[in-house]
Structure formats: C-alpha cells, structure tokens
Amino acid sequence: MTTQELFDQAVQQYNDIIAVIDRMSQLVVDHVNKDFDARIARAKFDVLLQYTLLRVAIADGKLLPVEGEFIDKITDTCDVLRLVPDFPKDANWTWIAKNVGFDDLLTLVAIVEEVAKEHMSHFADMFAIIDKADTEHDCLNEIAPRVCVIASLFILIDGERDEKEVHTTAEVVYKYLVGPWQDMIQHA
C-alpha cells in the first residue's frame, strides 16, 4: 500500500470520528448548552490525535519527514504546535522532522504533552456523560478503535511495523482517551 493510500484510509477514519464528535456535539447543544460549538470538541480531538501520532512516531527513536507530514495533514481544526508558547508560528511537524535533533524532539514532546493534557482531558470529560446518556450509541467504542486504526496506518508509512509503536498507541489511547472517559462514566 502506498503512503497516499495509507493516508487516505486514515483520513476516512478521521472523518468518521469527526461525524461522531459532531453528533455528540449536537446532543450537547440540544440537552446541555445551546451555545456549545462543535469546533471546540474537534480541536480538542485534533490535539489528542496529533499527540498520539507524535508519541507513536518517536517510539522507534526517530521522526521521519513522511511522519511529520502525516501529522501535519491529518487534522482539520487544530494543530497542537499552535498551543506551544513561543513556538515559531511557521514551524510544522514536517519541518521539525527534518531539522530538529532527537534530544530536542524529546524536549518538545514533553512540552507538547503538558500543553495538550488539559485539552485531551476536557475532550473525554466533555463527552463521557453524553455517551452514558446516549443509549443508542457507544461513542467511545466508535472513536477509540478508529484512533487505533489511524495510528496503525501511520505506523506503516515508514515501511516498518515496530512493536514499540504498537505498544505506544495502546498506552496513549488508554491514558488520554479510554481511561478518562470510562472513569467519567463510572463517576457520573
């Protein structure tokens, strides 16, 4: 499968997730907050997805330009780099992959994680209660597996399937999506 075919499949998964987010956002508007903006939820999800892919990318000890390009292009609403204070506004993940050494990249990943934590937590908190009330759908199980599929397609773009990347996908998706979502449902 070509890089473009892998990316196209990932975009389809992303679009399916966005459709779930939009459906859940409409439930928030209808039942909780009429002023709620779905773009907020989409942006928080984009942060979660980009952070997940970044962690997956560096799990094998490198961030390749093709991986940086994938991270740049997969999301529509928010780029987590724009949330990093004092980070050059013209920099992107492709540029970082080409120009930043691995030690500096690890420092950037730690900064991104700190910036992204709040956004990722709010995404799970925002929708867990709606998911519990929505008896027609299991939104977590519509979103989390698709994030894993996107990450699995992402893993293949460098031509190698590394077990560290697979493990990192499971770890990050559980830590920032599944775990908080389930905790919120249990305590609602």
What pLDDT score was predicted for residue 188? 66
Per-residue pLDDT tens over the stretch 90-102? 889 999 999 999 9
What is the pLDDT of the chain when averaged over all its residues?
90
Which candidate, 24, 15, 3, 2, places its Cα nearest to that of 125? Answer: 24
Separation between Cα atoms, residue 130 and residue 180, nearest integer Å: 14
Contact by Cβ (8 Å): 148, 14? no
What pLDDT score was predicted for residue 17? 97
What pLDDT score was predicted for residue 109? 92
Per-residue pLDDT tens over the stretch 148-183? 999 999 999 988 888 999 999 999 999 988 888 888
Neighbours of 92 (CB within 10 A): 16
Domain-by-domain residue ranges, the chain?
Answer: 3-186
Per-residue pLDDT tens over the stretch 110-138? 999 998 888 888 888 778 878 777 778 88
Contact by Cβ (8 Å): 127, 181? yes
What pLDDT score was predicted for residue 97? 94
Per-residue pLDDT tens over the stretch 71-82? 999 999 999 999
